Amino acid sequence: MTFGTTVSRDAVTDGEFHAFFERRHAELSRLAYLLTGEPDAADDIAADALLEVWRHWDRVSAADSPSAYARGVVANLCRNRIRKLGRERLGQRGWGTLWRDRAHSTDADVPAVVDVRSALRLVPYRRRACLVLRYAFDLSEQETARTLGISVGTVKSQTARGAAQLAELLRAQPENGGES
């Protein structure tokens, strides 16, 4: 009776979530990488976010944009990780320990991409999140605001300030030892 209904409903729910997982995992992992700059942590953050989505799947799947909810969870997990790492490393070895060794990357990055990624890590989190969601993920201002839980006006100002700061960092990079 009810047992058969529960099993059937669970199978449908499992199938819906599995399809969502397959469509969104790579995107969420890429978002985590761009927000943290840590390729090793990106898949873990995406997996943690998808676990949270699964826990609330009934509510998430009924929402207007389950993808926006999942991106928001990733953004929050990234922000928490960055804060935690900052607290752990404060006073130990300075900012240099926050950088990952690029030798671990399997990407064939051109120097310009490496420069942008390095500079992006110096942009404060909220500005970085707005830049990444707006330009790397091509989200609208409204979608970005919904993902980050902030107003559209804040998205506009943080994106503009972040773009200006990123441009300044990129202009200053060669002077700071980028090329000999």
CATH, residue 141 = 1.10.10.10
Tell me, what's the pLDDT at 8? 46
| Same domain for 66 and 144 | no
3-state secondary structure the chain: CHHHHHHHHHHHHHHHHHHHHHHHHHHHHHHHHHHHCCHHHHHHHHHHHHHHHHHCHHHHHHCCCHHHHHHHHHHHHHHHHHHHHHHHHCCCCCHHHHCCCHHHCCCCCCHHHHHHHHHHHHCCHHHHHHHHHHHHCCCCHHHHHHHHCCCHHHHHHHHHHHHHHHHHHHHHCHHHCCCC
| Same domain for 169 and 120 | yes
User: How many domains would you assign to the chain?
Assistant: 2
101 falls within a domain: no
Arithmetic mean of pLDDT, 17-25: 93
| Same domain for 132 and 167 | yes
Q: Is the pLDDT of residue 27 over 60?
A: yes
| Same domain for 28 and 71 | yes
Tell me, what's the pLDDT at 10? 74
Give the residue from 27, 60, 94 where a domain finishes: 94
The residue segments making up the domain with residue 123 are 107-180
Arithmetic mean of pLDDT, 138-154: 92
100 falls within a domain: no
As a whole-number percent, the residues of the chain with pLDDT over 90 amount to 49
Tell me, what's the pLDDT at 86? 65
Task: Give residue 108's pLDDT band: very low, low, confident or very high (50, 70, 90).
Answer: very low
As a whole-number percent, the residues of the chain with pLDDT over 70 amount to 73
Q: How far apart are CA 9 and CA 158, in angstroms?
A: 43
| Same domain for 151 and 68 | no
Tell me, what's the pLDDT at 40? 87
The string of pLDDT tens digits covering residues 29-82 is 999 999 998 888 999 999 999 999 999 999 999 988 999 999 999 999 998 888
| Same domain for 121 and 90 | no
Tell me, what's the pLDDT at 175? 47
Q: Is the pLDDT of residue 132 over 50?
A: yes
| Same domain for 120 and 87 | no
**Is residue 74 a contact partner of residue 46, using CB atoms and an 8 Å limit?**
yes
| Same domain for 115 and 74 | no
Q: Is 50 exposed, middle or buried (0-12, 13-18, 19+ CB in 10 A)?
A: buried
| Same domain for 161 and 76 | no
